[in-house]
Amino acid sequence: MKKEILVDVTRKRNRVALCENKEVVELHIEKTNNKSVVGNIYVGRVENVIEGIKAAFIDIGLDKNAFLYSGDMCEGEKFSDLKKGEEILVQVIKEPSGEKGVRVTTNISIQSRYCVLFPFSKGISVSRKIRSSEERNRLERLFKENISENIGVIVRTSSDGEDENIICEDIICAKQRLNNVIEKGRFSKAPLLIESEEPLAYRVIRDMMQTDIERIIVNDKQVYKSLVDFMKNHSSYNAEIVFDDESKLWYEYDVSDAEKHILDRKVMLKSGAYIVIDRTEALTCIDVNSGGFDDKKTDKNMIVAVNVEAAREIAKQVRLRNISGIIIIDFIDMKSDYDKNEVIRELRESLKKDKIESDVLGITKLGLVEMTRKKTSPPISEIIGEDCKKCNGSGNMFSDEYTAFKISDELRKRFCNENINEYMISVPHNIFTILKNDSDILPENSGKTVYLKECTAEYSINPIIQQNVDLSDTIKIEL
């Protein structure tokens, strides 16, 4: 499988796409005026401590106070010790969502290419993805020799097989950053940002690089040079770095087309079945529909095959759209436990391609699959989309017929309260057609006259009180 990374850097927006066989499987978008704050470290001031929910609100200088839950505090810290006005060091672990501010932790961490350092924890933990016991022992020894026992360490998967000198250089840089954060934290006044996460394009260097990446295409010279320097210092990576300032490949790989379909509610499958993705405030619902065949009459092997196909597509869409939190999946009904387990197995296997942690919990008594995915940044739909101004994001609007009845109700009310005999009703085409063909919808026996006019905007009802009103292109209806 050919894997490539495309990096598009502009003055207003940065984009990074991971492609497998020229198909976009992962997409990251960051607006330059709305950068992610996850990973940022602040000196904050405790504004409010709420014992009832074991949480505190911290002023870190953003529009909304940050939320510190007692469970996100360092081991050994007591929530009861928090006092209003106290200044503390915190790190953002979750982006703001809706009316909520960012979520923070006091368990500060500094992340580098090969490790994550925790100044207020102890112990060394090697990534579970590193399977070789010999390699795990080598890395544990290396980090013990180079890091104080008072600092906690997570050894990242990228350390697997890497040269010890290169890892040691990375450790030195991470320790320097850590010392700077601790020093600034001691002598700075809240609220203040003291360490910010790297821009999106540079996080690609640290997090998305894998040994099987064959090529990286970049349209920005500064990022290109940084990637070239990175590759020189990492012998295990052999990806070709290509500078393409015209970004032709971005369009050849149909990244913009992938962006466009991210907002689609319905995703078709090759079998003719389809999945429907609905996001709510609390969770995301994914429904698998049989499409062109009757699942009640279809052979059970076909149903299992469609569900397996849907499981693969769901894992792909969850990763591509960056869907996180609680996810509920309604597969086509299956009777056999063996068949259900086969679909669950396929879903779990497909999710292994995703670097963000997820957990498939199993099937409920109602036959629904429950899963969760860790939230590290907003879903792509929030970055490239916005709520519909007509339906306010509900996905539903009043029907044209209902709007016609609504106009009738408003007229009836105005007839009672206003001593005016003639009204001009301006309505969109569809409602104009309904009222023109069925004027019985309007109030009867009122003795009033209305003039119906077609327009392109929302409907309006205006009294006619002047003699020189233009009544051309209107239909006169006497009630």
pLDDT in tens, 121-160: 889 999 888 889 999 999 999 999 999 888 999 998 888 8
| Residue 198, token pair as written in the block | 């790297």
pLDDT of 383 above 90: no
* Domain span at 355: 263-384
Q: What is the pLDDT of residues 60-73, one digit of tens each?
A: 999 899 999 999 99
- Dihedral pair phi/psi, residue 335, rounded to 5°: -90, -40
Query: CA angle, 293 as apex, 286 and 273 as ends, to 5°?
Result: 35
Q: Which residues contact 312 (CB under 8 A, 6 or more apart)?
A: 346, 350
Q: What is the CATH number of the domain that holds 96?
A: 2.40.50.140
Q: Are 77 and 70 in contact (CB under 8 A)?
A: no
What amino acid is encoded at 441 in this protein?
I
Integer-rounded Cα Rg, in Å, for the chain is 30
Count CB neighbours of 412 within 10 A: 14
Label residue 233 by pLDDT band (50, 70, 90). low
Q: Is residue 118 situated within a structural domain?
A: no
Q: What is the pLDDT of residues 237-253, one digit of tens each?
A: 678 888 887 666 667 77
Label residue 438 by pLDDT band (50, 70, 90). confident
Q: Is residue 189 situated within a structural domain?
A: no
> What integer is the mean pLDDT of 28-45?
85
| 356 shares a domain with 255 | no
Label residue 229 by pLDDT band (50, 70, 90). confident
Q: Is residue 152 situated within a structural domain?
A: no
Last residue of a domain, one of 261, 279, 300: 261
pLDDT, position 211: 60
| 358 shares a domain with 246 | no
| 360 shares a domain with 349 | yes
26 sits in the region (left: phi over 0; alpha: psi -120 to 50; else beta) called beta
| 376 shares a domain with 299 | yes
Question: Residue 337 burial by CB count (10 A; 0-12/13-18/19+): exposed, middle or buried?
Answer: exposed
| 267 shares a domain with 379 | yes
Q: Is residue 404 situated within a structural domain?
A: yes
Q: Is residue 171 situated within a structural domain?
A: no
Strands (E), 344-470: 358-363, 369-373, 422-427, 449-454, 460-463
pLDDT, position 210: 64
Span of 199-203, 222-226, 456-460 with lowest mean pLDDT: 199-203
- The DSSP call for residue 100 is B
Label residue 205 by pLDDT band (50, 70, 90). low
CA 454 to the chain's CA centroid:
41
Q: What is the CATH number of the domain that holds 233?
A: 3.30.420.40
Q: How big is the chain, counted in residues?
A: 479
Q: Are 451 and 476 in contact (CB under 8 A)?
A: yes
Query: CA angle, 384 as apex, 382 and 389 as ends, to 5°?
Result: 75
| 472 shares a domain with 416 | yes
| 343 shares a domain with 331 | yes
Q: Is residue 119 situated within a structural domain?
A: no
| 460 shares a domain with 349 | no
Last residue of a domain, one of 59, 87, 107: 107
Q: How many CA atoms lie within 13 A of 8 on its CB side?
A: 20
What's the CA gap between 229 and 300, in Å, rounded?
Answer: 55
| 375 shares a domain with 404 | no
Q: What is the pLDDT of residues 338-366, one digit of tens each?
A: 999 999 999 999 998 888 889 999 999 88
pLDDT, position 8: 87
Query: CA angle, 222 as apex, 262 and 26 as ends, to 5°?
Result: 20
Q: Is residue 324 situated within a structural domain?
A: yes
Last residue of a domain, one of 72, 90, 107: 107
What's the CA gap between 122 and 152, in Å, rounded?
Answer: 4
Query: CA angle, 467 as apex, 462 and 470 as ends, to 5°?
Result: 65
pLDDT, position 416: 87
What's the CA gap between 268 and 301, in Å, rounded?
Answer: 20
- CA max distance for the chain: 96
- The DSSP call for residue 80 is G
Element (H, E) at 16: strand 13-20
Number of domains in the chain: 4
Q: Is residue 83 situated within a structural domain?
A: yes
Handedness of CA 281, 287, 291, 295 (dihedral sign): negative
| 103 shares a domain with 2 | no
pLDDT, position 43: 94
The structure tokens 């601790």 sit at 182
CA 106 to the chain's CA centroid:
24
Question: Residue 348 burial by CB count (10 A; 0-12/13-18/19+): exposed, middle or buried?
Answer: middle
pLDDT, position 234: 61
**Closest alpha carbon to 160 in 238, 240, 237:** 237
Give the three-state DSSP class for 53. helix
Element (H, E) at 105: strand 103-105
